[in-house]
């Protein structure tokens, strides 16, 4: 089977190993569509770096401001 070596939430290496050995070493099973450089967190894989909570809050604050500003100017959304 194919497994990923994860460091700081990112796949840094790929290994072929028996499941018992991979589990012992803390490797994570690697789906076909992912590889070195992809991100892994709590069982979830993604190609792009997940945004931090601070980044999400900032993005939501910007969206709220944009909507409020548009309403104040009488624009249709």
| SS (HEC) of the chain | CEEEEEECCEEEEEEECCHHHHHHHCCEECCCCCCCCCEEECCEEECCCCCCHHHHHHHHHHHHHHHHHHHHCCCCC
38 and 66 together in one domain: no
28 and 58 together in one domain: no
pLDDT confidence bin for 26, thresholds 50/70/90: very high
Geometric angle at alpha carbon 62, from 57 and 48, rounded to 5°: 55
Per-residue pLDDT of 37-66, as tens digits, reads 999 998 999 998 777 788 778 777 777 667
Per-residue pLDDT of 4-24, as tens digits, reads 999 999 999 999 999 999 999
38 and 57 together in one domain: no
pLDDT value at residue 70: 67
> Where in the sequence is the domain holding 30, given as residue range(s)?
1-46
Is the pTM above the cut of 0.85?
no
Q: CA 5 to CA 43: how far, in whole Å?
A: 14
pLDDT value at residue 73: 67
Domains held by the chain: number: 2
């Amino acid at each position: 089977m194919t497994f990923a070596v994860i460091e700081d939430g990112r796949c840094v290496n790929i290994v072929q190993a028996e499941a018992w050995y991979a589990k012992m070493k803390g490797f994570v099973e690697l789906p076909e569509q992912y590889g070195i450089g992809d991100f892994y967190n709590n069982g979830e894989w993604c190609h792009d770096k997940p945004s931090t909570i601070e980044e999400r809050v900032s993005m939501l604050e910007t969206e709220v401001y944009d909507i409020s500003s548009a309403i104040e100017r009488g624009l249709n959304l």
